[in-house]
């Protein structure tokens, strides 16, 4: 077991992700339909409280060091639920989550409410394009909240996510992506793997 008392570094986090098979290298089909040489499945990392807690503590430290004082942490289901809960615990504030309704729209359910003027940090396991983060921000801002930042374990955009607020990420991951009809991994004959949890209809 990895000790949570070890000094946190992005290098340690990367090694832990690799050891937990949460960071994979190969040939993958993403939920967007694009192909990539890298796949991230943070659920395998976040199943370990002894790993999740120090990672969230480091995010909390960075947020507080930046002078941000959120009233609430909000994570989009499913990926943001566990890290959002732990980040909220580290910050000493409540943590809730958004989820998609039957039409696919991001929304608040389960009796969760937002008070106008509340300052919020959005928690993600991985920022892949920034799209879902912006969806969550739109919902929260529509309810009168102020989004202070997004905090994630991994920024898969390499810092290129189109966000209008600060992006705190513990590990930037540069991943190549390719259109399926112009993929060098396909041309090399490397079998493509779909390791995620979304159904195949997501690609239709």
Rounded to 5 degrees, φ, ψ at 110 are 60, 25
- Domain membership of residue 95 (yes or no) is yes
Structure confidence by residue, pLDDT tens digits, 144-189: 999 999 999 999 887 788 899 999 999 999 888 899 999 999 999 9
Those residues whose C-beta lies under 8 Å from the C-beta of residue 111, and which sit 6 or more positions away, are none
pLDDT, tens digit (0-9, with 9 covering 90-100), for 44-60? 999 999 999 999 999 99
127 is in an annotated binding site: yes
Rounded Cα distance between 20 and 58, Å, is 19
Q: What is the pLDDT of residue 197?
A: 54
126 is in an annotated binding site: yes
Residue 164 lies in a domain: yes
Task: For residue 199, tell me if it sits in a domain.
Answer: no
What's the rounded Cα separation, in Å, for the pair 64 and 93? 13
**Which residues constitute the domain of residue 44?**
10-188
The answer on whether 130 is annotated among ligand-binding residues is yes
CB atoms within 10 A of CB 68: 17
Task: Quickly list DSSP for 51-103.
Answer: HHHHHHHHHHHHHHHTT---SEEEEETTHHHHHHHHHHHHHTS-EEEEEE-TT
Flag whether 194 is in a domain.
no
59 occurs within a structural domain: yes
Q: What is the pLDDT of residue 3?
A: 43
Question: Residue 60's domain is classified under what CATH number?
Answer: 3.40.50.2020
- Please report the pLDDT score of residue 161 as a whole number: 81
Is residue 197 one of the residues assigned to a domain? no
Across-strand partners of 150?
Answer: 122, 167
Give the DSSP H or E segment for 126: strand 119-127
Name the domain count of the chain: 1
Please indicate if the annotation marks 74 as binding a ligand. Answer: no
Residue 47: strand, helix, or coil:
coil
Residue 88 belongs to a domain: yes
Q: Is 56 contained in some domain?
A: yes
Task: Say if residue 196's pLDDT is above 70.
Answer: no
Q: How far is CA 132 from CA 73, 152, 185, in A?
A: 15, 13, 27
Model confidence over 83-97: pLDDT tens digits? 999 999 999 999 999
């Amino acid at each position: 077991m990895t000790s949570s008392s070890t000094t946190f570094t992005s290098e340690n986090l990367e090694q832990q992700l690799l050891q937990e098979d949460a960071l994979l290298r190969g040939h993958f089909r993403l939920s967007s339909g694009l192909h990539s040489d890298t796949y991230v499945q943070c659920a395998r990392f976040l199943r370990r409280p002894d790993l999740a807690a120090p990672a969230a503590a480091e995010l909390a430290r960075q947020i507080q060091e930046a002078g941000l004082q959120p009233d609430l942490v909000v994570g989009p289901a499913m990926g943001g639920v566990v890290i959002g809960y732990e980040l909220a615990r580290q910050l000493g504030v409540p943590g809730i989550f958004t989820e998609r309704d039957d039409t696919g729209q991001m929304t608040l359910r389960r009796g969760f409410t937002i008070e106008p003027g509340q300052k919020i940090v959005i928690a993600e396991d991985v920022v892949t394009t920034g799209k879902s983060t912006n969806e969550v921000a739109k919902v929260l801002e529509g309810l009168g909240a102020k989004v202070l930042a997004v905090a994630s374990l991994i920024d898969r955009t390499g810092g290129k996510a189109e966000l209008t607020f600060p992006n705190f990420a513990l590990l930037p991951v540069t991943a190549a992506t390719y259109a399926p009809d112009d993929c060098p991994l396909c041309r090399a004959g490397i079998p493509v793997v779909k390791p995620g949890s979304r159904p195949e209809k997501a690609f239709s």
